[in-house]
Chains A and B, each alone.
Chain A
Amino acid sequence: MAVLTPTRKSAWQAYSDWANAHRKWLFAAPAMIFVGVLIAFPLAWTLYLSLTDAHGSVRAASHFVGFRNYLQALGDMDRFWPATARTFAFTLSALAVEMVLGMCIALLLWRPFRGEKWVRVAILLPLVATPVAVGMMWRLIFDPNIGFANQLLNFFHLPSQPWLSSTETALPTLVFVDIWQWTPMVVLILLAGLTSLSEEPDEAARIDGANAWQRFIYVTLPLLMPTVIVAVLLRSIDALKTFDILYATKGKGGGSFNEVETLNVYAYGLSFDYNKYGLASAVLILFFLIIVACMFLLTRRRKGSNS
Chain B
Amino acid sequence: MSAAAVVLAAGSLTACSSNGSSADGNGPSTLRVTLANHVWTDSIKAAIPEFEKANNVKVELTQLGEDQLSDQYNVKLNAGTDEIDVMMYRPLQEGKTFAKNGYLADLTDKVKSNADWDWSDFQAGPISSTTYEDKVVGVPTITEREVLYYRKDLLKKAGLEVPKTMEELQADAKKIKDANPGVAGFVARTGKSAAVTQFSSFLYSYGGDFIDDAGKSAVGSDAAKKAYAVYGGLIKDQGPKNVSTDMSWPEAMAIFTQGNAAFYTEADSLYKNATDPAKSKVSDTVGFAPLPAGPAGSKPYNVPSWALGINSQSKNQDNAWKFVQWATSKAMTLKIQKAGVPGPRNSVWADPQGVSTYPKDLAAAIAVSAKNGVGHDRPLVNTVATAREIVGEPIVTAITGGDAAAAADAANTKFDKFLAGDN
A interface residues, Cβ below 8 angstroms from B: 30-31, 34, 37-38, 56-60, 143-146, 160-162, 164-167, 250-253, 255-257, 271-275
With A and B bound together, what is the CA distance between A251 and B389 in angstroms?
Answer: 13
Say if the beta carbon of B70 comes within 8 Å of chain A. yes
What's the nearest-Cβ distance from chain A to residue B300, in Å? 23
A sample of 15 cross-chain residue pairs with beta-carbon separation below 8 angstroms, ordered by A number, consists of: A34-B2, A56-B100, A59-B78, A144-B240, A145-B241, A161-B242, A165-B242, A251-B67, A251-B191, A253-B192, A257-B192, A271-B74, A272-B74, A273-B386, A274-B386
By a CB distance below 8 angstroms, the chain B residues around A59 are: 78-80, 101
CB distance from A31 to the nearest CB of B (A): 8
Chain B residues packing against A (C-beta within 8 Å): 2-3, 6, 67, 70-71, 74, 77-80, 97, 100-103, 190-193, 240-246, 248, 255, 258, 260, 382-383, 385-386, 389, 392, 396, 400
Minimum CB–CB distance for A261 against chain B, Å: 12
User: Whose C-beta in chain B lies nearest to the C-beta of A275?
Assistant: B383
Task: Give B264 Cβ to nearest chain A Cβ, in Å.
Answer: 15
Query: What's the Cα separation between A164 and B67 when bound, in Å?
Result: 21
Contact between A144 and B243, CB atoms less than 8 A apart: yes
Inter-subunit contact A145/B240 (CB<8 Å): yes
Contact A56 B382 (CB under 8 A): yes
**What residues on A are CB-neighbors of B243 within 8 Å?**
144, 165
Q: Establish whether residues B255 and A30, one from each chain, have CB atoms under 8 Å apart when the complex forms.
A: no
A226 and B22 alpha carbons, distance in the complex (Å): 59
- Selected from A166, A271, A274, the residue in CB contact (under 8 A) with B383 is A274
User: Given A256-B190, A274-B386: A56 and B97 within 8 A (CB)?
Assistant: yes
Chain A residues, CB < 8 A from B386:
273-274
Q: Assuming A57-B101, A274-B386, what are 14 further A-B pairs, CB within 8 angstroms?
A: A38-B2, A56-B382, A59-B80, A59-B101, A143-B244, A144-B243, A144-B244, A145-B255, A146-B258, A165-B242, A252-B385, A256-B190, A257-B245, A275-B74
Chain A at the B interface: SS class: loop
Residue of A nearest to B190 (CB): A256
Q: Which residues of the partner chain A approach B389 to less than 8 Å between Cβ atoms?
A: 253
B4 CB → nearest A CB, Å = 11
Q: Is A273 a contact partner of B240 (Cβ separation < 8 A)?
A: no
A145 closest partner in B (C-beta): B240
CB pair B385–A58 under 8 Å, yes or no, is: no
> Which of B6, B70, B80, B192 meets A272, CB within 8 Å?
B70
User: Pick the contact of B101 from A60, A251, A253, A273 — CB < 8 Å?
Assistant: A60
A4 to chain B: closest CB distance in Å?
31
Contacts A57-B101, A256-B190; A144 near B241 (Cβ below 8 A): yes
- What separation, in Å, do the CA atoms of A274 and B80 have in the docked complex? 19
Q: Is the CB of B191 within 8 A of A34?
A: no
- List, in ascending order, chain B residues with CB within 8 A of A250's CB: 246
Most buried by B among A60, A273, A274: A273
Residues of A within 8 A of B190 (CB): 256
Q: With both chains docked as a complex, state the minimum distance between the C-beta of B230 and any C-beta of chain A, in angstroms.
A: 18
Q: Which of B77, B100, B246 contacts A165 (CB under 8 A)? A: B246
A144: chain B residues within 8 A (beta carbon): 240-244
In the complex, the answer to whether A256 meets B101 with C-beta atoms within 8 Å is: no
Residues of B within 8 A of A253 (CB): 192-193, 389
Are B97's CB and A275's CB within 8 A? yes
CB B92 to nearest CB in A, in angstroms, measures 15
List, in ascending order, chain A residues with CB within 8 A of B79's CB: 58-59
A161 to chain B: closest residue by CB: B242
Assuming the A-B contacts A165-B244, A272-B70, are A256 and B255 also in contact, with contact meaning beta carbons closer than 8 angstroms in the complex?
no
Choose from A161, A164, A274 the contact partner of B244 (Cβ within 8 Å): A164
A37 to B192, CA, bound (A): 39
Give chain A residues whose Cβ lies under 8 Å from the Cβ of B77.
Answer: 57
Interface centre among A60, A143, A162, A251 (most CB of B within 10 A): A251
* B6 partner, pick from A34, A58, A161, A274, beta carbons under 8 A: A34
A160 neighbours in B (Cβ, 8 Å): 241-242
The residue among A56, A57, A145, A256 with the most chain B CB atoms within 10 A of its own CB is A256
Q: Hey, which chain B residues are within 8 Å of A165, CB to CB? A: 242-246
**Min C-beta distance of A50 to chain B, whole Å:** 16
Q: How far is the CB of B399 from chain A (nearest CB, A)?
A: 8
Q: Which residue of B lies closest to A160 (CB)?
A: B242
Beta-carbon contact of A273 and B382 below 8 Å: no
Q: Give Cα distance in the complex from A160 to B244, angstroms.
A: 13
Q: Decide: A257 near B382, CB < 8 A? Known: A164-B244, A272-B74.
A: no
B253 to chain A, nearest CB (A): 14
A256 to chain B, nearest CB (A): 4
- Return chain B residues, CB-CB under 8 Å to A37: 6
Shortest distance from the beta carbon of A213 to any chain B beta carbon, whole Å: 43
C-alpha spacing A275/B422, complex, angstroms: 12
